[in-house]
Amino acid sequence: MKVVKRYLVGSIVGALLACSTVSGASAQELTMVGNKVATYIDEHGSPARQMDIVRAALKGIDHSLVATTQAWYGSGLRSGKYSGYIDHYSLNAKQDNYFYSKPYLTINLHLASKTSEVIDIALLDQLGRARVGIETRFANTDQVRGERSVSWARSQIFYENVRQLADRRVDFIMADKDMIEQFNKLLAVKGEQLIKTSNVPFYIVDVSIAISKRVKGAESIIANFNAEIDALTKSGDIDRLLIGDKTRTSLLNPTVYKDILSKW
């Protein structure tokens, strides 16, 4: 019995220390930023699944999440306005001045086009001189920037990337398969031909949060975040957050894509 008592006391003390570490770290508000991406990081009541997951995983820590443009995002991180960011892509090298969480999301980038030839393409070298549309959030990463075997046609957002394909300004697009599937739902409602995707992903992108080492208790916040992600994964809540509103035909706003759908 004495051994059990010592174990219980030790457990209680350990739990109290863990709580004090997290509460001490959250004495200052954690202000995290993310680059706007439709259905993942957004505002004005639009679907924002990454933000929903991060909010759930930062439970018990005083925090706020900001969705902004790439220009303001970078300057805010450099000035210290933001404590860190919620969308570190594994396509980029990690920086020494940040602590990083374990991945909480994976994005599969597939090659896509209107024609079925894309299905069996497995190497970029197979594309020859074809032009491939891609969003700058992927194109401006360390890994993709170094790819010289393809002619990239960069666009700022997914809408513009799909529009390149609709206007026949590119032969293919490289895009998040989930986003393509969301757009295909809009096409299906209109009875239009769906976008075809490669059988294999060309890039598998792990997404993590990153917190500046200047933030007091940053390591403890990351450890707490990782533990909450494990709990959300085990409970299945993370999958439910990713699925989004089941009553919607697509998480993409059909009004935004109306002009593309009308000339598809």
Number of domains in the chain: 2
pLDDT at position 70 is 80
**Is there a single domain that holds both residue 72 and residue 20?**
yes
Task: Supply the CATH number for residue 47's domain.
Answer: 3.40.190.10
Q: How far apart are the first and last CA of the chain?
A: 74
Does 145 lie in the same domain as 128? yes
* Residues 163 and 130 both lie in one domain: yes
Residues 158 and 228 in one domain: no
Same domain, 36 and 89: yes
Domain match, 100 and 111 both: no
Q: Which has the higher per-residue pLDDT, 43 or 178?
A: 178
Q: Both 97 and 167 in a single domain? A: no
CA atoms within 13 A on the CB side of 253: 15
**More confident of the two residues 36 and 15:** 36
Tens of pLDDT along 83-119?
A: 999 999 999 999 999 999 999 999 999 999 999 999 9
Do 255 and 164 lie in one domain? The reply is yes
DSSP state of 118: G
- pLDDT for 51-91, tens place per residue? 999 999 998 899 999 999 887 898 999 999 999 999 999 99
Contact (CB, 8 A) for 210 and 100: yes
Phi, psi of 153 (to 5 degrees): -120, 100
CB count in 10 Å sphere of residue 85: 22
φ/ψ of 68, rounded to 5, equals -150, 180
239 and 119 in a common domain:
no
pLDDT band at 165 (very low <50, low <70, confident <90, very high): very high
196 and 231 co-located in one domain: no
Q: Say if residue 133 is in the same domain as residue 123.
A: yes
- Host domain of residue 114: 106-204+250-262
Distance CA 254, CA 252 (A): 6
Q: Categorize the per-residue pLDDT at 220 as very low, low, confident or very high, splitting at 50, 70 and 90.
A: very high
C-alpha–C-alpha distance, residues 67 and 82, integer Å: 11
Torsion of CA 169, 173, 176, 180, to 10 degrees: 70
| Pair 153, 231 in one domain | no
Give the CB-side neighbour count of residue 222, counting CA atoms within 13 A.
21
| pLDDT number for residue 246 | 82
